[in-house]
Amino acid sequence: MTISREDIEKVAVLARIRVEEEQVSALEKDLGNILDLVDQLGAADTESVEPMAHPLNAVQRLRPDEVTETNQREAFQAIAPATENGLYLVPRVIE
């Protein structure tokens, strides 16, 4: 698969990165190679491969879901700058 100069410039604008003129030809080649590799991977037969959650077939040990600390909500809210109805009030950051 080939990638054009225009594609690289468009991606650079979307990613908000500056690409110098002397880098464009190298990027065309490198990104083309990456896309070719993705095409090769997509062509691989995976019908008989079972999906895995982890490449090492590891099992995550979980701890029992037990309460280990006492409820200190009132103490924490007492020292908070602003609370209302049991909730923490924070300054508006989005208008």
Q: Is residue 87 part of a domain?
A: no
Q: For 43-69, what is each residue's pLDDT tens digit? A: 999 999 888 877 887 788 899 999 999
Residue 88: strand pairing partners: 83
Q: For the whole model, what pTM was predicted?
A: 0.50
Domain with residue 12: its CATH number is: 1.10.20
Where in the sequence is the domain holding 15, given as residue range(s)? Answer: 5-41
Percentage, residues of the chain above pLDDT 70: 100
The more confidently predicted of residues 27 and 59 is 27
The alpha carbon of residue 32 and the mean position of all alpha carbons in its chain are separated, in whole angstroms, by 23
Alpha helices in 16-88 (DSSP H): 21-43, 73-78
- Kindly state the DSSP code that residue 51 receives in the 8-state scheme: P
Q: Is residue 34 part of a domain?
A: yes
pLDDT at 80 over 90: yes
Q: Is residue 70 part of a domain?
A: no
> Backbone phi, then psi, for 83, in 5-degree steps?
-140, 160
Report the C-alpha gap between 87 and 54 in whole angstroms: 38
Q: Is residue 48 part of a domain?
A: no
Please count the structural domains in the chain: 1
Residue 83: strand pairing partners: 88
